[in-house]
């Protein structure tokens, strides 16, 4: 299947799945590779063959939906965001929890891929926050729809390129060398739990102090699905909890239940009672 064929197929398919082409424009080749393999499995040569197949076999839309995911992740992706979480957001949330007599912060990494994001949050807590907030701990839930990605997250083994943005002393302290790369040490893995979950469904049991939904819903979902997702994320957060989006993402203008904590770092609060940066 040629690239231009795949692009036209995606432009037709994505609205049916409540997804938008604008989000897939740059990483579409990743999706096209999966679609190409699916066409080969079905014995098709051209995108039009698959389009007709979807029309006749509506059950195939479930398979098509699973192919339209983008898995680009690495540790400490968008360094400034994690630095801000460690210097400002997590300490403020932790202090608030201590004042309320709560011994634990709960974090949710939605669309966690193979674990880089929730594990990065665990490292930020360990190396930037924990010593400043004695008496409170951080528990992190990472969720994704892809069983293979979740398996890799549990294994916590990564090629060197996934760690290139991490501070060198963090990498040295937290990882052990393997034959093919690095594995996160067990004491850092223990802070993170993984579970299969689709962000389009009801959120996991919370409420959460912080939710990271980066480069997912507000990149790939269409407008209506973004609004529904924003409401679910708000329901999953405590009052005054933090929502973290991707660097190029914005909340739809109709969403009024969040206020900007830091527009530069794309951190939003679920109430107005915050100290803005």
Please, which residues have CB within 8 angstroms of residue 203's CB and are 6 or more apart in sequence? 108, 232, 233, 235, 236
Sign of the Cα pseudo-torsion (129, 190, 93, 216, in order): positive
Cα distances from 176 to residues 36, 118, 128, in angstroms, run 37, 18, 21
Q: Where in the chain are the domains?
A: 3-67, 79-269
- CA-based nearest residue to 195, from 236, 149, 231: 149
Provide the pLDDT for residue 164. 95
Give me 126's structure tokens: 């360990």
Provide the pLDDT for residue 213. 97
Q: Going along 75-178, which residue ranges are E strands?
A: 104-110, 137-144, 157-158, 175-177
Provide the pLDDT for residue 23. 95
- CA-based nearest residue to 127, from 187, 169, 184: 169
- In the numeric block, the tokens 């398919």 are attached to 13
Please say whether the beta carbons of 263 and 251 come within 8 A. Answer: no
Provide the pLDDT for residue 275. 40
Provide the pLDDT for residue 147. 95
For the CA atoms of 67, 204, 249, 215, the dihedral, rounded to the nearest 10 degrees, stands at -40
Using alpha carbons only, give the angle 186, 188, 194 rounded to the nearest 5 degrees: 85
Question: In the 8-state DSSP scheme, what is residue 77?
Answer: S
Provide the pLDDT for residue 72. 82
- Domain 79-269 fold: Rossmann fold (3.40.50)
From first to last of its 277 residues, the chain has per-residue pLDDT tens of 899 999 999 999 999 999 999 999 999 999 999 999 999 999 999 999 999 999 999 999 999 999 999 988 899 999 999 999 999 999 999 999 999 999 999 999 999 999 999 999 999 999 999 998 988 999 999 999 999 999 999 999 999 999 999 999 999 999 999 999 999 999 999 999 999 999 999 999 989 999 999 999 999 999 999 999 999 999 999 999 999 999 999 999 999 989 999 989 999 999 643 343 3
Provide the pLDDT for residue 134. 87
Provide the pLDDT for residue 273. 39
Provide the pLDDT for residue 71. 85
Question: Residue 47 and residue 122: Cα distance in Å, rounded?
Answer: 43
Q: What are the tens digits of pLDDT across the range 18-51? A: 999 999 999 999 999 999 999 999 999 999 999 9
- CA-based nearest residue to 188, from 212, 164, 163: 163
Please say whether the beta carbons of 146 and 71 come within 8 A. Answer: yes
Please say whether the beta carbons of 268 and 251 come within 8 A. Answer: yes
Sign of the Cα pseudo-torsion (30, 32, 33, 34, in order): positive
């Amino acid at each position: 299947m040629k690239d231009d064929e795949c692009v036209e197929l995606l432009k037709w398919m994505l609205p049916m799945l409540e997804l938008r082409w604008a989000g897939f424009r740059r990483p579409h080749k990743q999706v096209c590779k999966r679609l190409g393999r699916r066409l080969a499995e079905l014995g098709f040569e051209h995108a039009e063959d698959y389009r007709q197949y979807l029309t006749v076999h509506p059950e195939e839309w479930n398979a098509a939906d699973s192919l339209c995911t983008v898995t680009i992740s690495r540790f400490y992706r968008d360094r400034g965001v994690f630095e801000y979480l460690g210097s400002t957001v997590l300490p403020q949330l932790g202090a608030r929890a201590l004042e309320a007599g709560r011994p634990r912060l709960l974090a949710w990494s939605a669309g966690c891929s193979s674990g880089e994001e929730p594990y990065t949050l665990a490292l930020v807590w360990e190396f930037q926050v924990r010593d400043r907030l004695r008496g409170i701990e951080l528990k992190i839930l990472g969720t994704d729809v892809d069983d293979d990605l979740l398996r890799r997250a549990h294994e916590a083994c990564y090629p060197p390129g996934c760690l290139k943005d991490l501070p060198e002393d963090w990498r040295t302290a937290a990882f052990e060398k393997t034959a093919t790369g690095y594995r996160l040490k067990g004491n850092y893995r223990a802070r993170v739990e993984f579970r299969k979950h689709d962000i389009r469904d009801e959120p996991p049991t919370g409420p959460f102090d912080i939710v990271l939904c980066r480069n997912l819903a507000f990149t790939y979902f269409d407008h209506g699905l973004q609004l529904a997702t924003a409401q679910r994320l708000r329901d999953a957060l405590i009052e005054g909890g933090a929502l973290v989006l991707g660097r190029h993402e914005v909340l739809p203008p109709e969403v009024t239940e969040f206020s900007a904590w830091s527009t530069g770092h794309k951190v939003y609060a679920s109430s107005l009672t915050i100290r803005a940066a």
